[in-house]
């Protein structure tokens, strides 16, 4: 009987302490949770910061834009084709006559070249090493093609440079032009890399 009584208070005595422990537990776990959420929020923030940084550095290697190749002209004084403006003027004439034959493709920029890639097959159609690009310019709102990227390229084997014109709808020509110019600048050994800024 004594054993029963002595056991009972002890087990009963344990009960309130468990109760207290349980009662105080939410307060503890709430603080713990708040502390945990602060830690996880900071950890998440750090992860996102690093992700953004890594994304820019990985993106800075290769960027791709869907463009429409409009036409290519040879820059030749005999044809009164010397500048980008001359090319845009001729593009307008061809457009007015319905003679612009366009082709959708991917224009890819990396730290070595600008490449043209076929949408379907993903085959490379043309490759312009950065040191062969003499001029890069965006021509905005000048004709029915309102976002034109002009690339003037000359391979060592060519006598005269080519002017390639692209319509850029998804990403505007001025942004693509900035990307290409920053890639050219970086390839020439600029102290501060411009390309990550241009891409971000």
* For the chain, domain boundaries: 1-59, 62-199
Distances (CA, A) of 178 to 19, 23, 91: 68, 63, 23
Q: Quick one: CATH architecture of 62-199?
A: Roll (2.30)
- Rounded-to-integer distance, Cα 197 and Cα 178, Å: 10
Token pair listed for 192: 């501060």
pLDDT at residue 198 in the model: 57
Angle 83-133-174 from CA coordinates, rounded to 5°: 70
User: Taking the model in full, what pTM does it have?
Assistant: 0.68
Is-contact 69 166, C-beta < 8 A? yes
Q: What is the DSSP string of 96-112?
A: HTT----EEEEEEEESS
Q: What is the pLDDT of residues 140-196, one digit of tens each?
A: 999 899 999 999 999 999 999 999 999 999 999 999 999 999 999 988 876 566 666
Token pair listed for 198: 């241009």
List all residues 6 or more positions away from 4 whose beta carbon is below 8 Å from its beta carbon.
none
């Amino acid at each position: 009987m004594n054993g029963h009584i002595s056991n009972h208070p002890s087990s009963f005595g344990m009960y309130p302490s468990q109760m207290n422990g349980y009662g105080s537990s939410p307060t503890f776990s709430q603080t713990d949770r708040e502390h945990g959420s602060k830690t996880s929020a900071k950890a998440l923030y750090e992860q996102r910061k690093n992700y953004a940084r890594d994304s820019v550095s990985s993106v800075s290697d290769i960027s791709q834009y869907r463009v429409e190749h409009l036409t290519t002209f040879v820059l030749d004084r005999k044809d009164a084709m010397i500048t980008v403006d001359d090319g845009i003027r001729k593009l307008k004439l061809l457009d007015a006559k319905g003679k612009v034959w366009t082709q959708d493709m991917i224009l890819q920029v990396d730290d070595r070249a600008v490449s043209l890639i076929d949408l379907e097959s993903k085959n490379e159609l043309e490759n312009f090493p950065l040191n062969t690009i003499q001029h890069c310019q965006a021509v905005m709102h000048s004709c029915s093609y309102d976002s034109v990227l002009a690339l003037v390229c000359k391979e060592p084997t060519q006598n005269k440079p080519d002017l390639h014109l692209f319509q850029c709808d998804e990403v505007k020509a001025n942004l693509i032009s900035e990307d290409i110019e920053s890639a050219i600048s970086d390839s020439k050994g600029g102290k501060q890399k411009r390309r990550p800024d241009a891409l971000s």
